[in-house]
Amino acid sequence: MLTRRHFLGALGLASLTGCGRGSTRTTVRFWNGFTGPDGRTMLRLVRRFNEENPDITVLMQRMDWGTYYNKLFVGGLGGRAPEVFVLHTRALLRFARAGFAEPLDPLLGDFPAATNDLDPNVWEAAKVQGNHYGLPLDVHAMGMYYNKKLFSEAGLDPTKPPTNRAEFIEAMRRIKKPGKNGEPDQWGYVFTNFETCTYTFLKQFGGSPFTPDYSRCTLASPENIAALTFCRSLIKDGLVPSPENIDSWIGFRQGRIGMVFEGIYMLADLQKQKDLDFAGAPVPQVTDHKAVWADSHNLCLKAGLPADKQRAAWKFMRFLSDNSVDWADGGQIPTRPSLRATARFKAMSVQSAFAEQVPYVQYQPRLPFIFEYQTEYNLAVEKILRGKASPEEALTAAEKRVNEIIKREATP
């Protein structure tokens, strides 16, 4: 049955392509998970590309990230994958090993930005076995959003957010405030996304979930235990609420939380909220190891495309990279230093603040079993933060299970 929604969607695609029978346009299908405000930003870029390139039609399809990767993998298995698709850096290995993505290195001759205008650490992370399988469009680093009003009320300078452990903890203490029943109804800091927040601290403590060659999981290392002990201590000391006692992100949006660590991709929703006086800053560094969680959206090319399709797809990918300041409008950070140096990007105050961290961003491990690893890691972290297990107990159990997965993966 053709619903009104499907009809309008098809009508929109038809008007976007502007072509009918006998068209000589090359069609490029483009899949991504940009279903939020970033999707509207990307749609504007796609329309602009189509207008400027009358010989190419890009058809964009958006779907929820929760189902996106399964659909994309199934499409690859059936030979129905799109010509261009988006992969997070953590997912590159899986799709490269499956043979679904084309190495981009042979195409870089007409794209000098690859050698002189991409952040080296971000570009290196797009490599699999010596070849680049993705063109990074952005680096969506975690940063600190903070409530300027609560800072002022606590006697803190809202133009000088905390940068180190002492300042961070002092800000927590001063912003925390009891409610009418004596229990705190205002907090200085809360854990939002457990995985990304704790991974940031883990890397700041010099920890790593794996050996450099990924042959063994090391979640129970002293550095990792110290990092999660620090996270748990914030709750035990009464500086941070236990996870089950607060809806952390909603609390920040309601003006009851002073500081949260979240991705730049949350910015668009905050900007719609006119009653919240907030700003952005780099995440405080609680040790001498500068680190912050990040990921990137990579533009990937379907393997084995005919020459005309490949040329058209690669032209579109270069266009998105060259115009990624437009993409930044939707709440992202370009991976091109030259674009971040423009007056237009510098005027984006939160994006610019988060971009200061690009030299020391830390990506999650790239594993063929990334989703299984994330399940084990997140389960351990939740037990620790909720006080159901000690950091040593939870991380040791998770390490054992992940090493069993590694052993299984290595078995022919």
Question: Do 306 and 84 touch, CB atoms closer than 8 A?
Answer: no
Residue 74: burial class (beta carbons within 10 Å; 0-12, 13-18, 19+): exposed
DSSP assignment string, 278-310: EEEEPPPBSSSS--EEEE-EEEEEBTT--HHHH
Does 150 share its domain with 72? Answer: no
| Distance, CA of 138 to CA of 300 (rounded, Å) | 13
User: Are 120 and 147 within one domain?
Assistant: no
Whether residue 152 sits in one domain with residue 95: no
Question: Do residues 259 and 196 both lie within one domain?
Answer: yes
Pseudo-torsion of CA 406, 407, 409, 411, nearest 10°? 160
Residue 20 belongs to some domain of the structure: no
pLDDT at 358: 97
- What pTM was estimated for this model as a whole? 0.90
Low-confidence ranges of the chain (pLDDT < 50): 1-21
Domain-located, residue 278: yes
Q: Are residues 160 and 270 in the same domain?
A: yes
Which residues constitute the domain of residue 399?
Answer: 142-294+366-410
- Residue 66: CB atoms within 10 A of its CB come to 9
Domain-embedded: residue 19: no
Q: What local confidence, expressed as pLDDT, does residue 9 receive?
A: 40
Give me the CATH number covering residue 98. Answer: 3.40.190.10
Instruction: Give the per-residue pLDDT at 246.
Output: 67
Sheet strands (E) in 74-228: 84-88, 127-128, 131-132, 135-136, 140-147, 177-178, 184-189
| pLDDT recorded at residue 4 | 41
Count how many residues are written for the chain: 412
- Amino acid 6: pLDDT: 42
3-class state of residue 82 by DSSP: coil
Give the pLDDT confidence of 195-219 residue by residue, as tens digits. Answer: 999 999 999 999 999 999 999 999 9
**Same domain, yes or no: 159 and 174:** yes
